Amino acid sequence: MLKKILIANRGEIALRIIRTSKEMGIKTVAVYSTADKESLHVRFADEAVCIGPPQSALSYLSISNIMAAAEITDADAIHPGYGFLAENASFAEICNDYKIKFIGPTAEMINKMGDKITAKNTMIKAGVPVIPGSDGLIEDIASGKKIAKKIGYPVILKATAGGGGKGMRIVWSEDAFDANWDSARQEAKAAFSNDGIYIEKFIEEPRHIEVQIAGDQYGKVCHLSERDCSVQRRHQKLVEEAPSPFLDDKMRKKIGNAAIKAAKAINYESVGTVEFLVDKHKQFYFMEMNTRIQVEHTVTEEVMDFDLVKEQIKIAAGVPITGKSYFPNGHAMECRINAEDPYNNFRPSPGKITALHTPKGFGVRVDTHIFANYTVPPYYDSMLAKVIVRAPTRQETIERMKRALDEFIIEGIKTTIPFHQALMKNQQFIDGDFNTGFINDFEF
């Protein structure tokens, strides 16, 4: 088993990893920027190393500073958490060169899923359904238009280096093609230094349903059912739940098996997530694969009664998995509480938390790094806490979530708690009748 893990992250996920490591008898090393000196991950880890000033680029994204911290503390593994370097293939490669186990997939696996056209071609070969579209990169405007006409409008232009919505443009008709082509290419070039674009049929009002998978070093892969993440705003997830209210057991089995096929196609090692778009006819299509532990892994943990970070560490240490797939028990839901003002276009609201009470009680879990008198720094992601509740049914889960949100007191800064309270009372949400476009129309 691993002896000492350096956690190349901050906030709630750093705490999450420390907790499981402790339970496994593994020592932990925290790294922190000067802005996070007083953070809980620094206090709860066995050792802590300062890796630079507040700006992420000079601290949590500084590979050389993090490798130096791993060397001086003699860590034998690095857990990247999510965000920052979690899907950085060269970081995984450098860890490998230093004989430090990167707790995640290999650089090659990250690259295969990081380039979207490569990922899509791999899925076609593996027999996983993909969205109809161009056969790889589009060479020029003229061939792009020809393909769009063949597919039929509306189409969507996507950056091969993209993900999360950057460099993406919906084109409703041929006369709008040129302008969208230019702006998609420019945005992709600026964001990824790669202006490669491909085309797909635009699926209207899809649901975002993702399957949690785990694969070991010996080629075994299992799924741990799905999460519905359709409630998003500007590609930021707000609420996630498991199981999806949209799927029955038959379809759950189908999408789970497709996810296993997807992971096996790249010999995937570690925990990961295969994202699907699901249209109103319940056709599902591979969208992308996240090669990391995700924010919303907690809802799967609750319905599966299974520690995903523990599994991820065991896989990294070379422990084989059973290869059996599992189905959910009851229902779980997560609300992401951000330091943002929901009445003001979700504007960031950093600052000092002057009073705090977190929800507690049966079926309630709060994963957070905040405490009373903590100052939320302006430099990082605005997520403060995840409220995760579980109950036997979706209806009871929503009632429990309402109760938990009512108990959550955060004073001194604005948070998204009022937004979630309103959402839990929305009839469409209660009925499970929503898709990725829902929040755009949600009157709040």
Question: Rule CB under 6 A: which residues touch ligand MV4?
Answer: 131, 156, 163-165, 200-203, 206, 208, 232, 235, 277, 287-288, 436
Written as one letter, the residue type at 259 is A
In the three-class reduction of DSSP (H, G, I as helix; E, B as strand; rest coil), residue 34 is classed as helix
In the chain, what is the straight-line distance between the N-terminal and C-terminal CA atoms, in Å?
50
278: which strand partners?
Answer: 207, 284
Number of H helices, E strands in the chain: 15, 22
Strands, DSSP E only, in 53-105? 77-79, 101-102
Q: Which is catalytic among the residues 16, 227, 292, 336?
A: 292
Is 292 a known active-site residue? Answer: yes
Q: Is 300 left (phi over 0), alpha (psi -120 to 50) or beta?
A: alpha
Contacts of 57 (CB under 8 A, 6+ apart): none
Nearer to ligand MV4, 48 or 151 (CB): 151
Cis ω on the peptide bond leading into residue 54 (within 30° of 0)? Answer: no
CA distance 404 to 443: 22
- Output the CA–CA distances (angstroms, integers) from residue 261 to 110, 128, 137, 265, in the order listed: 17, 7, 24, 6
Give the count of beta carbons closer than 10 Å to the beta carbon of residue 178.
Answer: 13
| Active centre residues (catalytic) | 292
